[in-house]
Chains A and B, each alone.
Chain A
Amino acid sequence: MAIRRGRGVAAINYPTGMNLGGDPTQALVHSTPTGNFMVTLSSVDLGQGMKQIMAQICAETIGVPTDRVVVDTADTDTGPHCMGTFASRGTHRAGNAVIQAAREARQVMLEVAAEELEVNASDLETDGQGNILVKGAPQKSISIFDVALSAHFKRGRSISGRGMFLIPRSYPEKETGAMKPSTCYAHACTVAEVEVDDETGEVTVLTVKNVFEIGRALNPKMVEQQLVGGSWMGISHALYETTEPYYPNRDHGGTDFNQYLMPGPGDLAETEIIVLERPSADGPYGAKGPGEMCANPQIPAVANAVFDAVGVRIDTLPITPERILRALKAQAAN
């Protein structure tokens, strides 16, 4: 009887968004009379930071500082259509819709500025600080604040735009079954090191080293935050979490979340995160969806590490001490 060490590796591809009845998200952008911009969405921020990312995307597209953008995700009854925040689709789908809406709003904004400055709209550019300048003659400029006032009170125009992003449903080809369920994949690879006590069946994850390829990281600190949390969650899925430990038998299933196991702050594995940025062709500024992907590769990596440590393949989650001990017993009996 001994503590045995093992190391396992796993790599995954993970689609961004879903392929059911088509996957649309829509967005509306409009300016207030003082030249702040509102993004209206039905997409919900569950803590991933969608509001911040949509503000950045809108600001980048219109050419204003991020703090000039307010994102309203208040109401799925009255807001523009969104399928929802799931399938790692939020940044990709809503981001693309926001870009389209913001482009249209920017065009109106430049047209109003052009009338004020008596130049062509195509000769104008934004400085990213809240001003519109004549290309090559930056001393000729107008603030977006004044443009908005002019649009609202003088020119009777709405600086606004509509954005729609739809990934249409892909049907399998009759002959081959080939289809395109997703247009954009994130990738990850994890190496996990574990210790398995072959007497108690207990697994301790010592280290997890993750590489995530997530398109462009629109907000690197928030990406890191998701990945760190996701890596922990992957270990939690691998070793602890279940509502039905003897599925389909309900016996010993938790009756409440207080019987739902997750590792606490004292059970953390040494975690390393490396981010690779390979901008996606159809992502907003190259982004992909890293949300769920980041909690997946740890699971097969831990299962492989357990195999490396004690030579048994556990193919049911979570990898509990009981499952390991039963497998070791079966192995010994053979």
Chain B
Amino acid sequence: MAKVPVQFTLNGSEKAEFIDSGTTLLHALRDKIGDTSPKGGCHQGTCGACSVIIDGELRLSCLTLVETCNGAVISTTSGLSEAGVLHPLQRAFLDTFATQCGFCTPGMIMAAKVLLDHTPNPSRDEVIEALSGNICRCTGYEPIIQAVLTAARSNSQNAA
């Protein structure tokens, strides 16, 4: 298969790769670039585990062809912490015990981040809506909802 050149920004650093045409972004991130924070749960757009942020929007990397990402700015959960300090969402997921096996966690955090970027003080219903594309087998969701609400509160306290 023909290789295509792809260039994008991943968590602030430039990436340039020759990648097989038709490769999904999920596959490129995990197996070519080595960022394994997006998880492959279903590979068909139903579980949300592969969620990443592309140009500010929540996207499913399993349904995104990498060649459509030329010039894009992509963020994944592995780029969230700064100088070893966890992002408020990561901190909140730990503090509220919102992760067990952790497979859904990076996707949940990406979904929550996009929510909080647009809606810093979401209602419980807005959190539920934002997470509704992400499946979790372990937690029963309530701790995840609490994590997002907790992160929103700590963000607004820090801003105040």
Which residues from chain A sit less than 8 Å from chain B, CB to CB? 46-49, 221-222, 224-226, 228-233, 256-258, 262, 264-266, 268, 271
Inter-chain contact B44/A258, CB cutoff 8 Å: yes
Residues of A within 8 A of B42 (CB): 256-258
CB within 8 Å for A47 and B102 given contacts A268-B140, A268-B142: yes
Query: What 18 additional pairs, Cβ within 8 angstroms, besides A225-B100, A271-B140?
Result: A47-B101, A47-B102, A48-B100, A221-B97, A222-B97, A225-B143, A228-B140, A228-B142, A229-B138, A229-B140, A229-B143, A231-B140, A232-B142, A233-B140, A257-B47, A268-B140, A268-B141, A268-B142
Residues of B within 8 A of A47 (CB): 99-103, 138
Inter-chain contact A265/B144, CB cutoff 8 Å: yes
The smallest beta-carbon distance between B115 and chain A, in angstroms, is 12
Q: Assign chain B's interface to a size class.
A: 20 to 34
User: Secondary structure of the B side of the interface?
Assistant: loop
User: Secondary structure of the A side of the interface?
Assistant: helix
Q: Which residue of B lies closest to A232 (CB)?
A: B140
Inter-chain contact A228/B131, CB cutoff 8 Å: no
Inter-chain contact A265/B97, CB cutoff 8 Å: no
Inter-chain contact B46/A229, CB cutoff 8 Å: no
The smallest beta-carbon distance between B116 and chain A, in angstroms, is 16
Inter-chain contact B143/A228, CB cutoff 8 Å: yes
Q: Which residue of B lies closest to A258 (CB)?
A: B46
The answer, yes or no, to whether B132 is at the interface (CB within 8 Å) is yes
Residues of B within 8 A of A49 (CB): 100
The smallest beta-carbon distance between A239 and chain B, in angstroms, is 14
Give complex CA distance A262, B136 in Å: 9
The smallest beta-carbon distance between B24 and chain A, in angstroms, is 16
Q: Which residue of A lies closest to B125 (CB)?
A: A266
Inter-chain contact B141/A232, CB cutoff 8 Å: yes
The answer, yes or no, to whether B80 is at the interface (CB within 8 Å) is no
The answer, yes or no, to whether B139 is at the interface (CB within 8 Å) is yes
The answer, yes or no, to whether B145 is at the interface (CB within 8 Å) is yes
The answer, yes or no, to whether B128 is at the interface (CB within 8 Å) is yes
CB within 8 Å for A265 and B141 given contacts A258-B42, A258-B44, A258-B46: yes
The answer, yes or no, to whether B6 is at the interface (CB within 8 Å) is no
Inter-chain contact B141/A225, CB cutoff 8 Å: no
Residues of B within 8 A of A257 (CB): 42, 46-47
The smallest beta-carbon distance between B58 and chain A, in angstroms, is 15
Inter-chain contact A265/B145, CB cutoff 8 Å: yes
* B92-139 residues at the A interface, CB under 8 angstroms: 97, 99-103, 127-129, 131-132, 135, 137-139
Q: Which residue of A lies closest to B140 (CB)?
A: A232
Give complex CA distance A233, B140 in Å: 7
Residues of A within 8 A of B135 (CB): 262, 264
Give complex CA distance A148, B128 in Å: 52
Residues of A within 8 A of B141 (CB): 232, 264-265, 268
Interface residue from A224, A231, A256, A266 paired with B97 (Cβ < 8 Å): A224
Q: Could you list 12 examples of A-B contacts with CB < 8 Å?
A: A46-B101, A47-B102, A225-B100, A225-B139, A225-B143, A228-B142, A229-B143, A231-B140, A232-B140, A265-B145, A266-B132, A271-B140
